Amino acid sequence: MNQILLSIALFLRASTGYKKSKTFIRDILTNPNNPQKKYVDISIIFLIVTSVFILIYEVKHSVPQWLDFYDIYIVSFVFSVEYILRLWVHNDITETIIKEHKESEFLGRQFMPIMVLKEGLLEKVKYMFTPSALIDLLAIFPAYRPLRVLRIFVLFRVLKLLRYTKSINQFTEVLSNKKFELLTLLFLLFFIVMTAGIAIYVLEEQHNPNIETLFDALYWALVTISTVGYGDISPVTPEGRTISILVIISGIAMISFATSVIVSAFSEKLSELKENRIIEQVNKSKSFLLVCGYGQMTKMFFRHYGEEYDNYIILENSQERMEQARKDGYDAIFEDASRFETLNKFNTEHCDITVLCLTASDVENIYITLNAKSISTSIRVIARANDASMLSKFEHAGADHILMPNKVANSMIHTAITQPTMYKAIHAILTGKSIARIDEIRAYECDAIVGKTIKALAFKEAKLLFMGVQHNNEFIFNPPSTYIVEKRDILLVMGREISLDYFKSLYAKEC
């Protein structure tokens, strides 16, 4: 028996298909950063909404057979599959069995897979009793037709929405922060309702035809204290009315207290909620910029090019500057980019992230570079270095590009002095705005040009100046016209933007 369990576990672990599918399903069900998750979410929400719609429609109309079929089988089937999958990916029993086997071999004790199997299963059972799992399970029940009362369980499907809509989750999260206040309030409410209910029961049970049981009295107390006041039960004796007055006054106090607690909970969390929204939004995009620091450099960058970048977030660790950035109309959040938690919030797995370290302090920029690279080496870092002596440190930290404002400015001044006519030209090329853009044509993005000679490519027709080719990390200036373009080559051309677009359109589709 033990051996069978072990070989099953080993077989499953060796199977890449099993592992892959498990990771895939876990990711798509539970990782909010997975771009495909939204399709799953939308389809489940669709099933829930249609199912509830059918429930409402059914009250007064007879439902066509196919709709009934859809409701009973398809919706419930999908929900059951989802339930089972969630249960499956909740934990890894195979791993624990193998671990147990290794440990027992190491210690020379008897291999007891049943124990760990039990533990693993217990873990799954525990999961089954979590509120969200219970809701999932109850949402499947309406499929069982013989019991009509189970139809109302369709409403549990509405509760399932909780899992799929972020804002409701945030609402509960915000309220859970005020747990203590709300619990106190609830206790107070319970106390007043009980006291007032019992009092009215004792005082009016004999005189008031509407109050027959203690339940009636408690119901009256709750209706009154909540200021709903249906009026179906009302006190008839002066003593009862006195109690009413007290209950009403305490009711007003309690409602205002509850409102203020909830409002303050939200206002405290508002900026955090807003920031989370910005992060979520940007995490959904394919690639984005994280700009650290809102100083002169960032301001200048956004002033010139802000419109060209849609997906970005400015991270600023000074409240004042962060507010300034927001006032200037940019998406900024109050966060310290040198903290692991900050950068870890971003979807490093599915997005191309470029971090711009533009704070005025070199130390901070190096720290941010290290932080970004420690989270994922795939994050591209462009760092600003003020001091030339810091250059090697930035290189060690792993910055992909190091920008030295002083050096850039110095070389521009140098050009402006030594080659005054050229300065304008070079400046135009560097800013890339004019007719003299220097641009890259990446052969791998443009299959049609691979395998062709330079002579055969229509540079002249497109009025482009072909300058050279980057081949195996080496730049070949003005290669012979018989040079054949390879897949990994990058062609360097100069010309107007329309020329470049025209050139690309000539070799269209793949470009």
Partner 1 sequence: MDKQKILLFGYGNHGKYIAKGLVEDGFKVQIVESSETFYQNAIEDGFSHASKIDVTKDELLTALKPETYTQLVCVMDDEHLNVFLTLSLRSLFKTCYILAISDSIHTTKKLQMAGANKVIDLYEVSANKIHNILNRPIATQLLEEFVVHKNGIGFKELLIPSNSFLNGLMTDDIDLSTYGVLLVGLIDEERGHHFEFITAGINHKLDSGDTLVCIGKEEKLQAFEQHIKKKEA
Interface positions with partner 1 (CB under 8 A): 289, 296-297, 299-301, 303-305, 308, 354, 356, 358, 382, 384, 401, 403, 405-419, 421-426, 428-432, 434-436, 438-440, 463-465, 467-468, 470, 475, 477-478, 481, 490, 492, 494-496, 499
Residue 57: both structure tokens together: 């429609």
Q: Nearest distance from residue 312's CB to partner 1, in Å?
A: 11
Residue with smaller CB distance to partner 1, 89 or 492: 492
Residue with smaller CB distance to partner 1, 240 or 495: 495
Report whether 384 contacts 365 (CB < 8 A).
Answer: yes
Q: Nearest distance from residue 38's CB to partner 1, in Å?
A: 27
Instruction: Measure the CA–CA gap between 124 and 92, rounded to whole angstroms.
Output: 10
- Left (φ > 0), alpha (ψ -120 to 50) or beta: where does 334 sit? beta
Residue with smaller CB distance to partner 1, 21 or 478: 478
Please name the residues in contact with 145: beta carbons below 8 A apart, sequence gap of 6 or more.
72
Q: Please write down the long-range contacts of 294-303, taking CB distance under 8 Å and 24 or more positions apart.
A: 294/321, 294/322, 294/324, 294/325, 294/330, 294/332, 295/321, 295/358, 295/359, 295/360, 297/358, 297/384, 297/405, 298/325, 298/356, 298/358, 299/328, 301/356, 301/358, 302/328, 302/330
Residue with smaller CB distance to partner 1, 68 or 400: 400
Report whether 498 contacts 437 (CB < 8 A).
Answer: no
Please name the residues in contact with 191: beta carbons below 8 A apart, sequence gap of 6 or more.
none
Residue 252: both structure tokens together: 């007003």
Q: Nearest distance from residue 490's CB to partner 1, in Å?
A: 5
Residue with smaller CB distance to partner 1, 307 or 341: 307
- Left (φ > 0), alpha (ψ -120 to 50) or beta: where does 231 sit? left
At 12, give phi and psi (nearest 5°): -65, -40
User: For residue 142, which of 85, 59, 75 has the smallest C-alpha distance?
Assistant: 75
Q: Nearest distance from residue 469's CB to partner 1, in Å?
A: 10
Output the CA angle 335-340-344, nearest 5 degrees: 85
Q: Nearest distance from residue 171's CB to partner 1, in Å?
A: 38
Q: Nearest distance from residue 296's CB to partner 1, in Å?
A: 5
Residue with smaller CB distance to partner 1, 179 or 414: 414
Residue with smaller CB distance to partner 1, 56 or 409: 409
Residue with smaller CB distance to partner 1, 221 or 289: 289
287: β partners: 352
The structure tokens 């992230």 sit at 353
Residue with smaller CB distance to partner 1, 79 or 330: 330
Output the CA angle 355-357-363, nearest 5 degrees: 135
Q: Nearest distance from residue 494's CB to partner 1, in Å?
A: 6
Residue with smaller CB distance to partner 1, 257 or 301: 301
Q: Please write down the long-range contacts of 46-49, taking CB distance under 8 Å and 24 or more positions apart.
A: 47/74, 47/75, 47/78, 47/79, 47/157, 48/157, 48/158, 48/160, 48/161, 48/164
Q: Nearest distance from residue 426's CB to partner 1, in Å?
A: 6
Residue 357: both structure tokens together: 């370290």
Strand pairing report for 380-384 and 401-403:
parallel
Q: Nearest distance from residue 343's CB to partner 1, in Å?
A: 19
Q: Nearest distance from residue 40's CB to partner 1, in Å?
A: 33
At 469, give phi and psi (nearest 5°): -135, 140
Residue with smaller CB distance to partner 1, 241 or 401: 401
Q: Nearest distance from residue 348's CB to partner 1, in Å?
A: 18
Strand pairing report for 437-442 and 380-384:
unpaired
At 36, give phi and psi (nearest 5°): -80, -15
Residue with smaller CB distance to partner 1, 50 or 470: 470
Q: Nearest distance from residue 286's CB to partner 1, in Å?
A: 14
